[in-house]
Every structure is written in C-alpha cells, then in structure tokens.
C-alpha cells in the first residue's frame, strides 16, 4: 500500500505531466517541501485548424551551416506569436512546422495534430533502420509553449541513438536549453505510421527529486492523416479523453448506458462547459471523504447537454435524494488518483449516418506503452445545430483487453468508500 501511495504522490508532484483534479493535486503537493520540476514538453489545447498546407513539394532552403541552424529559422514566427499571445494556437504551431519543412526538415507538432513535413524521408529512415542498416535523420517536434525539440537520430544494427536538443523562445531569441543523448531502450515504426521510441535521460534537478533518471516516451506520427478525421477527433474525442473516466473503455449506448460512470462524466463535461473544475473539491483532510449534494437542475443540465438520457435513467445510475431533489456527489480522493500517463484516441475513419449521427472509427494511441493501437473503438456522436454534440454510444473492439488499461483507476464503489472513510 505504501509503495502504491508513494507512486501516486510522485505522479502528482510532476506537475507538468499531471492531469489530475487541480484542487486535489494542490493538496497532495502541499504535503511535500521538495521543489517541483517543470519539465519541458507539450501542453495546451489546439484550436480549430485549417487544412494542412502542402510543404513536401515546396522548394526547400538548405539549413544554415552556422551552429545547427535552429536559432533563426522560426524566430519571426515565435516573436509574432509571443506578441499576440498565440504560442499555443494550432495555426501558429502549423506555421512553425511548415517553416521547418520549407528548410528541408521532417517536422511535426508534439500532439500529432499536423501532418509531418517531408514524411517520405522519415518513413525511408524508419524502413532502412528497421532493416538493421545504418541511417540518420533530424526530426523537429514543435510544442505549444513557444518551444520545440530537435531529435537527431542515428540507427545502426537495429539500435537507435537519440540526441535530444530542447529549444525555447525567451527574451526575443530562441535559446538552446538542454541537450541529452541516449540509446533508445526500445523503438519501432508501427503499422499505423508512428515512429515510437523511449529512453532514459538525466538532469541534475530531476535526480535530486527522484534519485533516478526519467524515461521519456516519444510518439511521432509520420504517415499523414485525413484532415477531416483530425477535425472530428479534436471536436468530439479529445475533449473527453481517457483521464479519470471510462467513456471510451466500456460498451454503452443510449438504450443501455451499462457501466458508464456519470460522476466522472460530470467532472469532465462541467470543465468543458465552464472552463474550470467542479467546485466540489476533496476534503483538506485526505483521510476524510467529502460528500456533497448537487441541486438536480445543476447536475442534470451538464449531463443532459451531452447525453440523450431521461431523468429516471440518470437517477438510477447515480445516488439521488428525492427529498431535497439533489444528486449525491463524492469527489475523487487520494486512492482514486491515476498515474499521469494517458493514451489518446485518434480517428482513422468515419461514416455519416442517415439519422444525422456520425460513427467515428478510432485507435487508442499510448506512447507510454509504445503502441499506436492498444485497441480500437467506435464512437457514435450526434452533432447538434448549435455546434454542440450528444454522445450516442461507444463500442470497444473485440481485441481490447482490460489488463491493458493500466492507466485507469475507477471511482470507488459505495462499499469501498464506506470501508475507506468509515461513513465519515
């Protein structure tokens, strides 16, 4: 138990990767006086894109032989983005990716929302390296915080060496912040078109905090995706995701909602609607289980905005108190914290149905596990005239194995909650 709790506390302390309920994470972090790291990487939500601009066919400009040619290629774009406070905007990142492509680099964004420039040369590298032959390539991964990573990859005898250089825009210039190198612990080019690799890297600050190095998991989509699939994914699947909910883990439909947890859905959908976490936070004392009663209209308004469900069915799937017309609500506590590595869905195809719904075919990509298809699932959505959406069903592929869903921690059952908190 102690080992499990320690792992969860360390997961919460790594705030850059932490996707936990913010109030709970802050309470856990307050238990420690250790300085918290902010590890460079990818964050922020991409905004609605335009169609990808083709860059592979453009005339390319040779990289500047001075140093490594990174400092000036996109400086003007970063300056403009900083002035307009748009560094996390998808179109800004698209422009930076395409600029690197103009200079001959294979480049992609860290969320794999933009087709890689010069994907052909990256795919050729993967093919040659996969055959055990010698090959090398530089791939740029553009972040959403005014930063990017340059991966210099060298393959030989089936092994992959990685030099990782991290750059960030600061004080009107692009600074090279860190350089690390390692031999990939494992790497592969998947059937779905992802270059995936992982390896251990060290920094002085991280070693002080964890007494170890950190294993980095990188997933770069090489093969292009249809932009319509990307847009559907951004609009309907990514806003829900896999963090602290089972919406895409279990089979359910409007006829039978099965094991879909509506309390988890309330947490996520409330945040999507209001742009902030639910105000019903865990107790300051982690040994006490907080219990709230949410007014019926408040709870139902959130759920019924996204699901076509009648009041009686919703009440049967939750704890409802008819005496004061409220829904009982227990926020996730310490035992329900998840490790901060989650997969994401990627729409690979879709069908527009006669009844106005759309069926999305998706793979579950999990860089932490080194796979671009943990399992597949189909989600049916009902786009609304006002731009909203109702979720109609989720069907998990037959190949899915519950043991593979290691990232998910279910909400406590009523019995587990009573046993843990003693009804307090």
- Residue 98: pLDDT band by 50, 70, 90 thresholds? very high
Give the mean pLDDT of 129-152: 97
Q: What is the pLDDT of residues 291-321, one digit of tens each?
A: 999 999 999 999 999 999 999 999 999 999 9
Lowest mean pLDDT among 115-124, 200-209, 322-331, 397-406: 200-209
Note the pTM of the prediction, 2 decimals.
0.83
Q: What string of DSSP letters covers 201-251?
A: E--HHHHHHHSS-EEEEEEEE-S---HHHHHHIIIIITTT-STT--TTTS-
What does the DSSP 8-state code read for residue 381?
Answer: E
Q: What is the pLDDT of residues 369-402, one digit of tens each?
A: 999 999 999 999 999 999 999 999 999 986 545 5
- Residue 339: pLDDT band by 50, 70, 90 thresholds? confident
Decide yes or no: CATH 1.20.1740 for domain 226-424.
no
* Average of per-residue pLDDT values in the chain: 85
For residue 57, pLDDT beyond 80: no
Domain ranges of the chain: 75-223, 226-424
Q: Residue 108 is encoded by which pair of tokens?
A: 């992609």
Return the axis-axis angle of helices 296-306 and 262-274, rounded to nearest 10°: 90
Give backbone dihedrals phi and psi of 175, rounded to 5 degrees, phi first.
-110, 135
Give backbone dihedrals phi and psi of 102, rounded to 5 degrees, phi first.
-60, -30
pLDDT at 215: 78
Mapped to the 3 state alphabet, what secondary structure does 282-336 carry? CCCCCCCCCCEEEEHHHHHHHHHHHCCCCHHHHHHCCCEECCCCEEEECCCCHHH
Counting other chains too, the contacts that 49-55 makes at CB distance below 8 Å and 24 or more residues apart are 49/90, 49/91, 49/94, 49/113, 49/114, 49/227, 49/230, 49/231, 49/234, 50/91, 50/94, 51/227, 52/94, 52/114, 52/115, 52/224, 52/227, 53/94, 53/98, 55/98, 55/101, 55/102, 55/117, 55/118
Give the mean pLDDT of 105-115: 97
Give the mean pLDDT of 174-190: 93
Q: Which of 46, 411, 10 is nearest to 243 (CA)?
A: 411
């Amino acid at each position: 138990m102690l080992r499990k709790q320690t792992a969860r506390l360390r997961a919460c302390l790594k705030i850059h990767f932490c996707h936990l309920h913010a109030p709970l994470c802050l309470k856990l972090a307050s238990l420690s006086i250790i300085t918290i790291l902010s590890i460079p990487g990818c964050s922020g939500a991409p905004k609605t894109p335009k169609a990808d601009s083709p860059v592979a066919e453009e005339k390319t400009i040779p990289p500047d032989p001075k140093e490594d040619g990174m400092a000036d290629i996109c400086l003007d774009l970063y300056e403009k983005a900083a002035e307009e406070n748009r560094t996390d905007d998808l179109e800004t990142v698209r422009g930076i990716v395409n600029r690197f492509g103009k200079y001959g680099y294979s480049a992609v964004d860290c969320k794999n929302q933009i087709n890689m420039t010069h994907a052909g040369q990256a795919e050729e590298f993967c093919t040659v390296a996969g055959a055990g032959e010698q090959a090398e390539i530089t791939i740029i991964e553009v972040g959403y915080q005014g930063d990017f990573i340059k991966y210099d990859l060298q393959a030989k005898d089936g092994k992959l060496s990685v030099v990782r250089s991290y750059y960030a825009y600061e004080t009107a210039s692009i600074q090279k912040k860190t350089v690390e190198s390692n031999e990939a612990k494992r790497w592969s080019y998947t059937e779905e078109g992802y270059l995936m690799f992982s390896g251990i890297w060290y920094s002085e600050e991280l070693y002080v905090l964890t007494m170890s190095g950190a294993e980095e998991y990188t997933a770069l989509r090489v093969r292009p995706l249809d932009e319509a699939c990307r847009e559907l994914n951004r609009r309907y699947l990514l806003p829900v995701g896999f963090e602290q909910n089972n919406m895409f883990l279990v089979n359910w439909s409007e006829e039978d909602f099965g094991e879909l947890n509506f309390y988890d859905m309330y947490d996520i959908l409330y945040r999507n609607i209001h742009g902030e976490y639910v105000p019903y936070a865990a107790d300051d004392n982690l040994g006490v289980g907080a219990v709230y009663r949410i007014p019926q209209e408040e709870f139902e308004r959130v759920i019924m905005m996204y699901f076509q469900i009648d009041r009686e069915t919703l009440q049967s799937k939750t704890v409802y108190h008819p005496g004061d017309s409220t829904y009982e609500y227990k926020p996730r506590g310490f035992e329900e914290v998840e490790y901060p590595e989650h997969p994401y869905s990627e729409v690979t195809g879709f069908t527009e149905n006669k009844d106005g719904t759309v069926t999305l075919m998706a793979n579950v990509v999990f860089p932490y596990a080194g796979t671009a298809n943990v399992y597949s699932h189909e989600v049916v959505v009902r786009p609304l005239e006002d731009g909203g959406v109702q979720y109609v069903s989720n069907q998990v592929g037959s190949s899915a194995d519950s043991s593979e869903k290691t990232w998910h921690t279910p909400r406590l059952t009523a019995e587990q909650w009573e046993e843990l908190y003693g009804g307090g």
